[in-house]
Amino acid sequence: MGLSPKDCLQLKEALQTAVVKCSERCLYQSAKWAAELLDALPEPEIDTMSDVPQSHLHPVFAINADPTEADREAQELGRYLLAKSYFDCKEFERCAAVFLPEPLLASLMGTNPNETTNPKGKGKAKATVGYSSDYTLPEISQKSLFLALYAKVIAGEKHKDEETEMVMGPQDSGAVINKQLVVVSRFLSKWFAQRKIDGGDYPASQGFLEYLYGMVLAKEKNDSLALDYLMQSVHLFPWNWGAWLEITNLVSRVEQLNKLARHLPQNIMSFIFHANAAVNLYQQGPDLASSLNDLLGIFPTSSFLLTCKALLCYHSKDLFAAEQEFSKVLALHPQRLDALDHYSNILYVLNRRPKLAFLAHLCSNIDKFRPESCVVIGNYYALLSLHEKAVQYFRRALTLDRSCLSAWTLMGHEYVELKNTHAAIESYRRAVDVNRRDYRAWYGLGQTYEVLEMHAYALWYYKKAAGLRPWDSKMWQAVGSCLQKMGRDRDGIKALKRALLADSYYDTTAASSFGTAGTADRMSQMDPEVLLQIATMYDRLDEEEEAKAYMELCLAQEEGAAGAAESGAGPSLGDSIAIHNDSPGSEAEGGGDGLEGGAGSDGGTGVTFATSKARMWLAKYAMRAEDYETANRLAMELCQDGVEVEEAKALMREARSRMELADMVER
């Protein structure tokens, strides 16, 4: 995707306007995002700018185009600057009081400003005689109104954090609420209702109050109405990244995202939103990779887009490529801490201890009191198996930001390592409260309940994880193993066959998206453990022929494709339907007429515990079938492998004695 010099300059001007407008309203994260994108936009060459009017080369940000709003902003300039200075000094209540004093708000809300409310938020404020809700709304500019109401919301969040107990303390139930949400929600509801009643007598909306109302409604769990207002916001002003992020948080399924895409404004922001939302929904594939590459063609050094690309590799289970992409981001932006918690997760899984130590040291030097820094340091201690120290840093991250998803999930993992299952379950549940799309937290809950041998609970949580990651073999393996322990062998077989299909899907996707030849070569290698589990369940169902086929396929994994082809083992995966009916993409793409696509690489697993168990089962099966030569050969191989040697020797002696007896009978 390329832009003409004129389009490039228009985009630059739009981003400059976005930075200024968001900064004026103290939306600093959105302003930072737009400024970083602006910085990543290459400067057009001088000789390509001859046709561009010079006024566009040095754009001057004009005052509000609406004359009524412009007059109000001019009249309020002194008070606006005062309110903004209070906000910048984190005096949020004073900032709000400049334009919306408490008595005015109380009269509008129908409450007595002198009435004292319960400090714990347990009692509701009651309307008092003499305070009517019939007061007209104050006539102030939309910019000033937004700043005042936004300061109210931030003040409420601040008080909420102050009233919240210590992380994972005895009183930390997560039930403390932001009391200012009700006030802001009622005010904006009246504001929008009044504009609707009076028709076109008001200045055109700028999109920021719609964003604020949508954000408040989302916090109040009114998702459908929140989405309506946020959609209005991005249509009115598409350059506010905060509004797009709120929409992303409300989109829980790919189908919902695709349906929403038809109603989005047609501009580059919609394109960026769609790519980011797809990454957050754990999607992967050549189309998404191509979209990110197109965007990087416009913003080649964008830290945000490069991070999205790294996360795409991570979700596609291509950890080596993800590690390289994050290294690239770190080299370009060495002081940027955003998303480095994900990078530390990758280094932890890859066991890159020196790199993780360097990253922890770097984060500590830049800002040791950022949640991301605490998570990185916690991961480093986790890699050293210093689990209590790791928990300490994850708790510190949560003290700084209660919505830090990585910290809740990773703290749950550490509590599992410390055998503190109650604390692990609570950590995972809080992670799910922060983001219900976090499959790691659902999977962690399943694992913890499985440790407690509460398999029905574990199965439910595993199904939730599999629904979020329908093509992740690890999720379906967990579902299958849990069903096996519950004695539901038939359903367990279906889940484990789904796990085999999932491996093939992810490997194919990774290879086509990123051109990873090594991944494509591994595409056909199946997990011997899964094959052994399937065979064992068939054996328990007294279906010996199916069990034998899967045992042979398990054994064939030692040598890879050649062994599988020679074994002639080709059990069908046609019945590998999804156990979790609500999972997105529950139909097995690419179907399963057989396992012909499951064998194609020359490299095998070598001798493993699973293949040795399969070899022993096949040897005993051969004895029952009076195929003593095969039994003797398999028993000899077991002796060479050094697995279950005594039983293998006994089996070999019995097979040889039977063969000698058969020779004597023939004579």
Question: How far is Cα 627 from Cα 618, in angstroms, rounded to an integer?
Answer: 10
For residue 587, the model assigns a pLDDT of 35
Which range (210-224, 612-626, 643-657) has the least confidence?
643-657
Written as one letter, the residue type at 20 is: V
Question: How far is Cα 211 from Cα 153, in angstroms, rounded to an integer?
Answer: 13
Q: For residues 177-191, give the mean pLDDT.
A: 93
Q: How far is CA 342 from CA 162, 273, 322, 339, in A?
A: 28, 20, 10, 6
Structure tokens at 232: 């209005």
Q: Is the pLDDT of residue 567 over 80?
A: no
| Residue 533 pLDDT grade (very low, low, confident, very high; cuts 50, 70, 90) | very high
Which range (230-234, 247-251, 620-624) has the least confidence?
620-624
> How many CA atoms, within 13 angstroms, populate the side-chain half-sphere of residue 639?
14
Question: How far is Cα 590 from Cα 445, in angstroms, rounded to an integer?
Answer: 31
Q: Is the pLDDT of residue 601 over 50?
A: no
CB atoms within 10 A of CB 55: 8
137 contacts 108 by C-beta, under 8 angstroms: yes
For residue 588, the model assigns a pLDDT of 33
Three-state secondary structure call for residue 38: helix
For residue 585, the model assigns a pLDDT of 37
User: CB pairs under 8 A, 24+ apart, for 49-58?
Assistant: 49/5, 49/9, 51/5, 51/6, 52/5, 52/6, 52/9, 56/9, 56/10, 56/13, 57/9
For residue 168, the model assigns a pLDDT of 82
Which range (111-115, 391-395, 650-654) has the least confidence?
111-115
For residue 603, the model assigns a pLDDT of 60
For residue 652, the model assigns a pLDDT of 86
Angle at 98 between CA 95 and CA 102, to 5 degrees: 95
CB atoms within 10 A of CB 638: 22
Instruction: Report the mean per-residue pLDDT for the chain.
Output: 84
What would the DSSP string read from start to end of 594-619? -SGGG---S----S-HHHHHHHHHHH
DSSP code for 316: T
Question: How far is Cα 179 from Cα 123, in angstroms, rounded to an integer?
Answer: 11
Is the Cα torsion angle 120, 123, 128, 133 positive or negative in sign? positive
Q: Is the pLDDT of residue 469 over 80?
A: yes
For residue 81, the model assigns a pLDDT of 95
Q: Is the pLDDT of residue 395 over 90?
A: yes
Which range (164-173, 279-288, 473-482, 625-634) has the least confidence?
164-173
**How many helices (H) and strands (E) are present in the chain, helices listed first?**
33, 0
| Residue 201 pLDDT grade (very low, low, confident, very high; cuts 50, 70, 90) | low
Structure tokens at 44: 């057009």
For residue 52, the model assigns a pLDDT of 52
529 contacts 569 by C-beta, under 8 angstroms: no
- Of 512, 560, 571, 515, the residue nearest 538 (C-alpha): 571
pTM of the model: 0.84
Please return the burial class of 197, using the count of CB atoms within 10 Å of its CB with bins 0-12, 13-18 and 19+.
exposed
DSSP code for 387: H
Tokens 């945000």 belong to residue: 304
Q: Is the pLDDT of residue 130 over 60?
A: no
The top-scoring range by mean pLDDT among 4-13, 202-211, 236-245 is 236-245
For residue 558, the model assigns a pLDDT of 85
Q: For residues 371-399, give the mean pLDDT.
A: 97
Is the Cα torsion angle 194, 199, 202, 206 positive or negative in sign? positive
For residue 47, the model assigns a pLDDT of 54
